[in-house]
Structure 1
Amino acid sequence: MHVRELFELGGRVALVTGGSRGLGLQMAEALGQMGARVAITARKADELAEAASHLRGLGIEATTIVGDLQHADAVPNIVDAALAAYGQIDILVNNAGATWGAPAEDYPDEAWHKVMNLNVTAPFRLAREVGKRSMIARRTGKIVNIASIAGLKGSPAGMQTIAYNTSKAAAINFTRALASEWGRYGINVNAICPGFFPSKMSAGLLEKLEQTIVEQAPLHRLGGDEDLKGAIVYLASEASRHVTGQYLAVDGGASIV
């Protein structure tokens, strides 16, 4: 097999949560450009429509699914819609997430539960549903959980996001645990840990800390629009067929200092 073939995704179907904007849309674009048909899901129909138009303008076959992953009953409905559109799900990208900033001593229960529900519980529910309905019986599948370098260490000064950090550490070990169980089905489960990328979620934090973050990272830059694309294609393709239970930090080196 030529090495290029290892990265090709023709005939594959990818379901990307939080796929209407930001990192999710960038990854959906990358998967689609390598030949995958893409189902993107998010809460807002108008943002999904705009994202789908963008993807189709690039020649990518895309469908949209409106759903709020904070609600348990949204998960089977999302999977139903993806299977109705494409008949199978080969790649699941658990990208949707939330954060909330507050000092630990004053952190609201509501905020804790919201962050943990979307960042940990929803990916578990989706993996369980997709695994049972499309991957296990076919003995194939790629699950990529979008964690964060925030799950690898404590918070830097000025970043009071205890639930987010905790949830992303949980996402990394969820990846390991699921990979351990589902390897026998031929399913690879890995994680990507992005560093700081400009996004709606990170805007407030970067407004205060961007200069410090850039100065401290070995590559002295934030993540850009193209910087997750290679990582997601690698972990979604046959190029990573002997890799499971691992995380890949895409952070300009920030997690090593």
Structure 2
Amino acid sequence: MKILVCITHVPDTTSRIAFTDGDKKFDANGVQFIIGPYDDYALARAVELKEQSGGSITVLNVGGAETEPTLRKALAIGADDAIRINAEPTDSLFVASEIAHVAKDAGYDLILMGRESIDFNGGMVHGMVGEILGIPSISPVMTLDIDGDTAKMAREIEGGKEMLEVKMPLVAGCQEPIAEWKIPNMRGIMSARTKPLNVVEPSQNQSGTTLDKFELPPAKGAVKMVDADNVAELVNLLKNDAKVI
């Protein structure tokens, strides 16, 4: 089985976020970057499937040279080779188009990725890749098992989950509890240094969107304490100040 896992290079959730150039550019100084947590689930399940049935795993990222340590970590976890598309991931359609361009003639049985990245949280790339390639796209996938050329999945829906069977190839946007995150061991880290990491140029140079500015959310206001017996004041604050009722 041939698996492509698409990973994002995102700031750690504990990082302090700031912007420069008049709020038009993300300030990466001092920021720790990681594999997107949902992509980590996708990669972990890919490694499990390879251990069960054999095959190969390729990891792919759209990004500059600064993302290569993240790709090397994915190689240390269990991927066989990596592809870096040498372009800034400006929007979902651009990223999806580049992934589809690489995957089009490569014969992947499964294209796995997280249900969304944790920086922009768009949750659109898997659907766009499926549409461009003309293959099924399922998300968010909570379980994934392979029986011959059929993928058996549980997908989260409103109020429950949906059981699906789909012929491969397909695209899946993954989330917990599809697999347990894997931590690279020393052997994996050493072997990752010699595994191939191929850099390819993008198939297109133009994004469909332009960035106006970034904006941080407003600072949290002070806490207002309400006496437990003063229900009327609590209702008034929730209605007129918080505007939640």
Check whether TM > 0.5.
Answer: no
Provide TM-score, normalisation by structure 1. 0.38
Provide TM-score, normalisation by structure 2. 0.39
Q: Which has the higher helix share?
A: 1
Whichever of the two has the greater Rg, that structure is: 2
Q: Return the structure number with greater relative CO, CA threshold 8 A, min gap 6.
A: 2
